Amino acid sequence: MFNKSNSFGFLFFIVLLVACNSLPYQSTNRFYKKQTKELVKQIQLEPSLQIVNNLPAANQWVGTTNFDLRKPNFVIIHHTAQNSCEQTLKTFTLERTKVSAHYVICKDGTIHHMLNDYMRAWHGGIAKWGNNTDINSSSIGIEIDNNGFEPFETAQINSLMLLLDKLKNQYKIPSENFIGHGDIAPKRKVDPNIYFPWNQLALNGYGVWYTPDSTKNLPESLSVPLALSIVGYDIADTTAAILAFKRHFRQDSTSQMSLEDRSVLFQLIQRKTTGK
């Protein structure tokens, strides 16, 4: 016998199941909105200098009229080192992982904008570039779906180039400030590794490059550690810094420094010191 009540209940269950499957990140999106509201509350608080350690605070608050939001000044490119874009999205929506990025680019070129650019993502970890030891506070993190040992898809690079163009123009990010996770954390990370097309990016204004196979004017006394430091690398571990440099600029994973490698390094410090 046909039971309308049971039929309606079953239908409701199917609709609910489909809705949940089509919106798998509904709960984490709610958490995102809650978290941003809490941050907005902090921003809206009037500055208040409480008497701490006998600081001579004024009796009356005077708010400045000249301010805006802090803006990102670096773009850090990563590979996900995971098996799929979906796996990375899940990783970035689990609180226990304590990692995130502003953007994730899937193999088909789809871009997920996971965090407002003005917010601080947890993508750099313990890192250093030049004198900057808090990369997360000044950078945008972009994760590209790739296990680190395979070529990047054309669709991914095309989407990345469009995204970098937007970010560079919107935030006036200098060309030399487009770097990799392995550059800022050479002892811990290798991404986006030797398959990443840094040359292609640099030719379009996202990063710096050099004149291939040019060894003229190369000083015999070039100090590799000092040169790496001038470029921006942390030389606490010189071998790690050399490996990071060679992955980025030579698509090589060995630590030996050839004459050509030294020439590339010299060209980079010349550009760094002269702006040319």
Enzyme catalytic residues: 143
Determine the Cα–Cα distance for residues 224 and 276; give it in Å rounded to an integer. 20
Query: Alpha carbon of 142 to those of 76, 120, 179, 242: distances in Å?
Result: 6, 13, 11, 24
DSSP 8-class letter at 143: E
Determine the Cα–Cα distance for residues 267 and 209; give it in Å rounded to an integer. 9
Closest by Cα among 87, 205, 216 to 147: 87
Q: Where are the alpha helices (DSSP H) in 45-180?
A: 85-91, 154-171
Closest by Cα among 267, 120, 274 to 202: 267
Concatenated DSSP letters of 7-26:
HHHHHHHHHHHHHHHH-TTH
Closest by Cα among 155, 165, 167 to 106: 155
